A and B are shown apart, each in its own frame.
Chain A
């Protein structure tokens, strides 16, 4: 049997009597080989994960994909690139390096050594936080499973799959914590992570945005930009956790999350570049007949994804968030760089809300408004991306610009829920909203228009007409590299 240098080695033969060596199969830096608890847990969980991956993972059959695999956590060379059959992807378990002197940096335990075990007092809350985070990871894989059928290029297909396997790995990371630190209850929760499914009416994913359909690639790019960015910010708060294994896990996950941000940022940008080019060339806003996505539809997609992602931060005022902070479970974004007492008992902030048909503010205790604190950081980051996209429009010599809608626009959670706020931040009544909603949110017709452009392009180096090619390829490979080998060679 010859080994294809591009697909890597086949798994070692394992007869009926040979035990699976999980430490070999699963790259890790948690000493898996000597951890009986974890091995036992994985024996039960790994086959279920693979079943889930086969049923609800990417639907497009592939032979192998040029994927990045995490193999270490060091500053240089933490990832390895190679062609890998996706269901043999080596989902690893990696925690950032442990700092033996790490302290709790905030809340009532500030200054105490970070926790290496789950304190019984906080088991329920910590498990809840991990389960919610863990639930989002496989959800997005499920949401994106059919996108492969309409990929605009082999390059983009590869990026989709990269995001998918890394969401899978992030699921592994959360499952590792549940298995390693939460006993039988943790194992049960880990199993539930595979039993809830995106959009399943009987057992939906926990958070609303993860039950929305990902209909097309524009939405995929918006999702990776806005919704994955929420994930980045949530991870950023968990990275501060007093529970050190969670902090270290999330710190490493953030490394990979950067790629998802990249896919979103450049994806939307390339769509815009193409749209701008067509607008310029044909001197029209209506680029659909010319194979591009009209700018107003892009704005509507942006509006929608921004709003549902904002909902993921929860209510502006949250007792839970305050308790998590005070207990040391979940910090603020860039906690250690903040110049305050990191206890916040006396701190306050302004909260915007709707009263008597207009948006006004009141002063509230900071501890009660930590969800809002995090969301504000997120919004600022999102605004940066929009500036960057607008640069592309400017570079193309266009006057038109994208914008972030008002924070109260189309919200289902928090102080704006139940009110109608326009993207510009005006409070309107229901009739006013209904009259103009189609200007602000993608209509079924808009989605159909986008869908009409979603013709797969599987030829190496070729790109669908609605999106510009990237400047460079992945891992210094050329853009036309054979990033994906489809299972059915006839398609290529």
Chain B
């Protein structure tokens, strides 16, 4: 069986340590050790064996779970060591047979998710006081080295044979697409000519050269590896701001109900409209005022519960519902309660748990930003697009706001308003480092200032339209018909062109490591993936392991 449009496996992203097949997590005081020992027969899809610690989406789903749990359930962990559980093998990267048999869409989605997880690892180091250290007990090839690159530090065993390498170009005719090319030069500052040598040398470089060129931070003999890693871990522990005595917040199993074409979580629901190729997503505000001590509510703390549900829904829809190309997003509930939580998230930002919630929501919004779906926000009476929830509307490609009320349905309703707060202006930055408001008004400082001047004030449709916060404000006579036509029109356009167009419009302004990875690296990789030189019958990816190399069309394009 292959992963094709005909037989797509339904992927679930929820897991927990007791179900891991590929990873172990050991916590020893302030240091956690995460060990990869892939179950060869534990592939998500039949058709390949996960030899030599190679991974597929299933392996990476577990890694994502670990990253999340370390942040929420283990506040005392200040350093995380990631290492390989096989002899002299750290990780061989993404499984080639899996890639070779996968549909284009599957490959693209897989790469996106693995990229997001690696960005999450960097986010833990940068914003959580949880420093990741790669302890390369053996060879780290391709995606294995890219995983190490996401860590703050890389220590390689110097045994005369273990190496770091990016063999994708010479062996597979594709790119190291999980941030490899980008991080070698942008993060580790390897000279570009050396990076070029490195990325075309299938066997990579061993200890000495790897250190000299900056590909790793240290290379130590096998018997000194544990000590060197421990030393670095302790150093990281000493500089971490994470509390030593706080109780963790268990990420309890998600309460998700799938009934036919509806998916319901607490605070998030989705209705799948297959005929029209769209999903109607509603994110709901909290039912109560915020608690005095957020951590006391644990995973039920509204911002966390809402974020977890949204995160799971995004991943589910992206992976399992590729035909639903339009996401219509609404927010429902009491804006006052949303704003109370919004304020609390800011006031208590120094609290380790609130900090984690904020960054988790930030990462989830970033997922939305790089999602290859058209996102349309609909703002009607009963809306709760305020503060952090208004970020969802700003993340959308377009915003449609009802002016007034639906007179035929509920003429006594209160017309919709939206409320901006500092949440929209830097608390949850995009991958380009800008706020969504800053991105919206890039190069229009006066408009940005005008929007900032409204913080905390409810804005009705005409005010929102005047300020440029919504695409269109229409009254009930036009609203629904306009929306129907817009959504139908959208559904009739080329999904490929839309994906490219949306990705270009969403990210204005400066380039960052993230925008380069999701823009330049990913776009090139996705182009390379569909070229015959990679995925044609004689392409390198297809031929890998057959004893024959790829036959290339030598025309440069």
Residues of chain A touching chain B, judged by Cβ–Cβ distance below 8 Å, are 36-37, 40, 117-124, 181, 183-184
Q: Specify which chain A residues have a CB less than 8 angstroms from the CB of B275 in the assembled complex.
A: none
Question: By the criterion CB–CB under 8 Å, are A183 and B474 in contact?
Answer: yes
Q: Which of B190-198, B292-300, B475-483 faces chain A?
A: B475-483
Bin chain B's interface residue count. Answer: 10 to 19
Question: By the criterion CB–CB under 8 Å, are B484 and A37 in contact?
Answer: no
Q: Specify which chain B residues have a CB less than 8 angstroms from the CB of A120 in the assembled complex.
A: 484-492
The 9 closest A-B pairs by CB, nearest first: A120-B488, A121-B492, A120-B489, A120-B485, A183-B478, A183-B482, A37-B477, A123-B485, A184-B478
Closest chain B residue to A119 by CB distance?
B488
**Cα distance A118–B487 when bound, in Å?**
12
**Cα distance A459–B265 when bound, in Å?**
84
| Binary flags per residue of B181-213, CB closer than 8 Å to A gives 1, else 0 | 000000000000000000000000000000000
Q: Specify which chain A residues have a CB less than 8 angstroms from the CB of B482 in the assembled complex.
A: 183-184
Q: Specify which chain A residues have a CB less than 8 angstroms from the CB of B478 in the assembled complex.
A: 37, 183-184
Question: By the criterion CB–CB under 8 Å, are B477 and A121 in contact?
Answer: no
State how many angstroms separate the Cβ of B229 from the closest Cβ of chain A: 58
Question: By the criterion CB–CB under 8 Å, are A36 and B490 in contact?
Answer: no
| Binary flags per residue of B248-272, CB closer than 8 Å to A gives 1, else 0 | 0000000000000000000000000
Residue picked from B472, B482, B485, B490, most chain A C-beta under 10 Å: B485
Closest chain B residue to A36 by CB distance?
B477
Name the one of B472, B474, B481, B491 contacting A121, with C-beta atoms under 8 angstroms.
B491
Closest chain B residue to A38 by CB distance?
B477
State how many angstroms separate the Cβ of A454 from the closest Cβ of chain B: 48
Q: Which of B487-532 contact A (CB under 8 A)?
A: 487-492
Q: Specify which chain A residues have a CB less than 8 angstroms from the CB of B487 in the assembled complex.
A: 120
Q: Specify which chain A residues have a CB less than 8 angstroms from the CB of B491 in the assembled complex.
A: 120-121
Q: Specify which chain B residues have a CB less than 8 angstroms from the CB of A36 in the assembled complex.
A: 477
Question: By the criterion CB–CB under 8 Å, are B485 and A118 in contact?
Answer: yes
Residue picked from B481, B486, B491, most chain A C-beta under 10 Å: B481
Contact residues of A: prevailing secondary structure: helix
Closest chain A residue to B478 by CB distance?
A183
Q: Specify which chain B residues have a CB less than 8 angstroms from the CB of A124 in the assembled complex.
A: 489
Q: Specify which chain B residues have a CB less than 8 angstroms from the CB of A119 in the assembled complex.
A: 488, 492
**Cα distance A121–B477 when bound, in Å?**
21
**Cα distance A37–B477 when bound, in Å?**
5
Q: Specify which chain B residues have a CB less than 8 angstroms from the CB of A184 in the assembled complex.
A: 472, 474, 478, 482
Question: By the criterion CB–CB under 8 Å, are A183 and B488 in contact?
Answer: no
**Cα distance A37–B484 when bound, in Å?**
16
**Cα distance A37–B481 when bound, in Å?**
11
State how many angstroms separate the Cβ of A108 from the closest Cβ of chain B: 12
**Cα distance A122–B490 when bound, in Å?**
11
Residue pairs across A and B with Cβ atoms less than 8 A apart, 26 shown, are: A36-B477, A37-B478, A37-B481, A40-B477, A117-B481, A117-B484, A119-B488, A120-B484, A120-B487, A120-B488, A120-B489, A120-B491, A120-B492, A121-B489, A121-B492, A122-B492, A123-B485, A123-B488, A123-B489, A124-B489, A183-B474, A183-B478, A183-B481, A183-B482, A184-B478, A184-B482
State how many angstroms separate the Cβ of B264 from the closest Cβ of chain A: 28
State how many angstroms separate the Cβ of A36 from the closest Cβ of chain B: 6
Closest chain B residue to A124 by CB distance?
B489
**Cα distance A124–B474 when bound, in Å?**
19
State how many angstroms separate the Cβ of B477 from the closest Cβ of chain A: 5
**Cα distance A119–B484 when bound, in Å?**
9
State how many angstroms separate the Cβ of B462 from the closest Cβ of chain A: 14
**Cα distance A40–B481 when bound, in Å?**
15
State how many angstroms separate the Cβ of B483 from the closest Cβ of chain A: 10
Closest chain B residue to A37 by CB distance?
B477
**Cα distance A36–B485 when bound, in Å?**
19
**Cα distance A122–B489 when bound, in Å?**
7
State how many angstroms separate the Cβ of B376 from the closest Cβ of chain A: 12
**Cα distance A347–B474 when bound, in Å?**
45
Q: Specify which chain A residues have a CB less than 8 angstroms from the CB of B492 in the assembled complex.
A: 119-122
**Cα distance A40–B475 when bound, in Å?**
11
Given contacts A117-B484, A120-B490, 12 further A-B contacts (CB under 8 A): A36-B477, A40-B477, A119-B488, A120-B485, A120-B486, A121-B489, A121-B492, A124-B489, A181-B481, A183-B474, A183-B482, A184-B482
State how many angstroms separate the Cβ of A103 from the closest Cβ of chain B: 20
State how many angstroms separate the Cβ of B24 from the closest Cβ of chain A: 52
State how many angstroms separate the Cβ of A117 from the closest Cβ of chain B: 8
Closest chain A residue to B493 by CB distance?
A121
Closest chain B residue to A40 by CB distance?
B477
Closest chain A residue to B480 by CB distance?
A183
State how many angstroms separate the Cβ of B377 from the closest Cβ of chain A: 18
Q: Which of B423-477 contact A (CB under 8 A)?
A: 472, 474, 477
**Cα distance A120–B489 when bound, in Å?**
4
Q: Specify which chain B residues have a CB less than 8 angstroms from the CB of A122 in the assembled complex.
A: 492
Q: Specify which chain B residues have a CB less than 8 angstroms from the CB of A183 in the assembled complex.
A: 474, 478, 481-482, 485
State how many angstroms separate the Cβ of A199 from the closest Cβ of chain B: 34
**Cα distance A305–B482 when bound, in Å?**
41
**Cα distance A124–B484 when bound, in Å?**
14
Q: Specify which chain B residues have a CB less than 8 angstroms from the CB of A181 in the assembled complex.
A: 481
State how many angstroms separate the Cβ of A38 from the closest Cβ of chain B: 9
Residue picked from A37, A183, A184, most chain B C-beta under 10 Å: A183
Closest chain A residue to B475 by CB distance?
A40
Residue picked from A121, A122, A181, most chain B C-beta under 10 Å: A121
Q: Specify which chain B residues have a CB less than 8 angstroms from the CB of A40 in the assembled complex.
A: 477
Q: Specify which chain B residues have a CB less than 8 angstroms from the CB of A118 in the assembled complex.
A: 485
**Cα distance A36–B406 when bound, in Å?**
13
**Cα distance A117–B485 when bound, in Å?**
9
Closest chain B residue to A118 by CB distance?
B485
**Cα distance A120–B493 when bound, in Å?**
10
State how many angstroms separate the Cβ of B481 from the closest Cβ of chain A: 6
Closest chain A residue to B486 by CB distance?
A120
**Cα distance A117–B482 when bound, in Å?**
12
State how many angstroms separate the Cβ of A230 from the closest Cβ of chain B: 30
**Cα distance A119–B481 when bound, in Å?**
11
State how many angstroms separate the Cβ of B384 from the closest Cβ of chain A: 26
